[in-house]
Chains A and B, each alone.
Chain A
Amino acid sequence: MNIDLTIAIIITMVGASTPLLLAALGELVVEKSGVLNLGIEGMMLTGAVVGFAVTYTTGNPWLGIFAAAIAGASVSMIFAFLTLTLSANQVATGLALTIFGAGFSALFGQPFTGKPIALFKSIFPDSLTEHPILRVFFDYSPLVYFSLFMVFAVYWFLQKTRAGLILRAVGENDHSAHSIGYSVIGVRYGAVAFGGAMAGIGGSCFPLILTPQWVEGLTGGRGWIALALVVFAAWRPGRLLAGAYLFGLIATMELYAKAAGGSFRIIPSELWASLPYLATIIVLVLISIRHKTSSSAPACLGKPFIPN
């Protein structure tokens, strides 16, 4: 295979994977604390529209990303209040959050539809980003490096810090954690907020590094894939990275299938478009076969905590 094409595919793949990776990392932490937030798609859309609006208005993508994180975390607090403080059903509340995010982003984004911004490109010098080989390392938006850093940061936090230990404990056995004296609800609020911020940043990747404009519903169900990815990765950040890039690769192949025609055209583009979703199902099946006897899911996942 042609080296230029390979590099082009890698670069597209990494870009396509980044929003997934960011959102899924956030959800991983949320789920490790024992909460199942199905509202990722809604939080991503919120982050995407706010990130776009702030970047468009200020011209500063850094501010846009920051605003996206705040926006994602803010809407996640609706979920947190309902499920954690009022112990509402997490599945229903998560769905409501998705519908809310879709409605809010469509409404808020309407004035911005069709307006262009500049892509948030690599900050390395052109000599690196345009180098035929080296660009495979340097021709990425800072968001890409941030997502890679966060893979490590989340791993380090969960496995090496005391706060991470407490967070895992809360997800593993909430009543025990409570009886030792940890604030189950407090820890979970924190985790949900982090998940919201990460989903918000993940959402902002769409207008900032993929298509430089606001389109209604532009996340196209990536929030749900992020959810599946967490299961795919068996709640481990390292595997999450591999999984996200695999999904990015499939999505990239779809793009090339559409554009290139020719040999790719043997398989209809609709099938390529279906592949990430079908792959998720296949992965879910593989995981459950492998983990038939012992699941690695946090033991309290999705269960409301009501101290007695």
Chain B
Amino acid sequence: MNNKQQKTPFRLKLEGITKAFPGVLANDQVSFAIKAGEIHALLGENGAGKSTLVKMIYGIMLPDSGSIFWNGEKIHIKNPKEARSLGIGMVFQHFSLFEAMSVLENIALGMDNKLSKKQLEAKVYEVMDTYGLSLEPSRIVSTLGVGERQRIEIVRALLLNPKLLIMDEPTSVLTPQEVEQLFATLRQLAKNGCSILYISHKLHEIKALCDGATILRGGKIVGECDPKKETSKSMAEMMIGASLQAINKSTIKDFGEIALEVKNLSLAGVGDFGVSLKNISFNVRHGEIFGIAGVAGNGQNELQSALGGEVVLKDQAAIKLNEFLIGNMSANDRRKKGLCAVPEERHGHAAVPDFNLKDNAILTARDRQNMTKLGMISAKHAKDFTKQVIDEFNVMTTGSAAIAGSLSGGNLQKFIMGREIMQVPDVLVVSQPTWGVDAGAAAAIHQALIDLAAGGAAIIIISQDLDELLELCDAIAVINEGNLSEPKNIGQVSIEEIGLLMGGVHGQNSEQLTPNSEVIAS
């Protein structure tokens, strides 16, 4: 079988694909190929150009130049419909689902051939039987969990009998247990001859699943390998390049008094998708970095809002900052008392994209940096502070008058982090500090957080990136469905234990395992 494949053309082959956006070359002369039945990884950091590349394969975007070959034939994929008719299916990272509609309606929207509701339902059951997937077709999507939602996407793709299935970061929202289930499905698909293009930045997954890997960095291909033969470390080096700085973390820890005490914090969820926070309690000392891990959508945003003061609590005593009870204070009053925060979303939350950097500095720093007097703003003070942030944090920009939305993700994040850190808070609460940020900026942000803690601040990092938390934090807890697990010191916790907590499994299996050396070593 295998030597015969030498003669058959590749299922998909890309040659010299290039795509530019204003200010960025997203893909630069990208070429690679996938055989039939192969599970091929497209590996790269956030922002390496993976998503752009697959969007062109699926016909959402058109390449500026380069060619695509399908079973040896040169083709132009003008739109997703054409891609589907060729046999290309895609499961999106951010699911393209319609919340208010039923599972079956969602699936019908992804189908190009006209089937009656009954015929479609029969086919859905058939596919689910074949691959051991379960879904209730009449359920409304908004009532489903993330794992089930992804299954809709997979079923939708499988109904087309795909010859190539593109999976874009499929595990970023799944628990380790759900990941195993997904892998089993993918392996079965590959055995039946379907090629799979698997996009991820998670090395251990790629080692476990893929037959070949193409590594992207900064829009260019920097390597090809067989992941089964590589070590995670060697792939990581290719993916990240030489830009990664070693983190400078003093080993001797001498924490001060308790800076932030959260006691029985409860908050009802808002709207259809809100998560209720249930009796959350933890302490963070001066100089300590406290990590909160968890799968997306388990109450992280709610906790960030409750701590930062975007949601004001009724219970004044739920949050204590140094000697002040601040639970019922507004965000601004908390900031004045020394608690700064950085929410996850940069555009439109941590920063106003249409405002310039000076105005974005005014947004949170106006009181701590004395920019206001009698209700009026001193533009000069604001400009000076903005310049300091830009210089200190190496923000690549034209100056304080640059519009925030024009900065790259990494630079804007550096500015936002700099803005808060330079206000020298006693407590800093940050969500996903390096989400979608290039490696260099991520390293700079990590170092700044460590330096801030070394200066005596208490820091809370809420992140889905476990590697980041294990690298930075002194203690860690896991949030799941609005409950926070018992905090543990980093040295005393294993990756398996955290994985189980993220999946909502408590106690019984979490005996002390040795830390997974591959992930924890830094």
Contact = CB atoms under 8 A, between A and B. Distances in A.
A188 interface: no
Contacts, number: 50
Given A165-B105, A165-B109, A169-B109, A180 B80 contact: yes
A168 B101 contact: yes
Interface residues of A, number: 19
Contacts of A181: 59-60, 79-81, 84
B92 A179 contact: yes
Main secondary structure of the interface of A (DSSP, over half): helix
A283 interface: no
B272 A169 contact: no
A162 interface: yes
A162 to B, nearest CB: 7
Contact of A176 (B59, B97, B271): B97
A180 B110 contact: yes
Interface in B412-462: none
Nearest to A294: B272
Given A166-B109, A294-B272, A179 B80 contact: yes
B96 A179 contact: yes
A175 B80 CA distance: 13
A141 interface: no
A169 B108 CA distance: 11
Contacts of B84: 181
A299 interface: yes
B114 interface: yes
Interface in B35-84: 59-60, 79-81, 84
A119 to B, nearest CB: 43
Interface string A129-159: 0000000000000000000000000000000
B100 interface: yes
A172 B271 contact: no
Contacts of A180: 80, 96, 109-110
Nearest to B105: A165
A162 B110 CA distance: 11
Among A162, A178, A181, the one with the most B-chain Cβ atoms within 10 Å of its Cβ is A181
B98 A176 contact: yes
B99 interface: yes
A299 B100 contact: yes
Contact of A293 (B79, B97, B110, B271): B271
A68 B296 CA distance: 52
Nearest to B58: A179
Contacts of A178: 60
B140 to A, nearest CB: 11
Interface of A: 162, 165-166, 168-169, 172-173, 175-182, 293-294, 296, 299
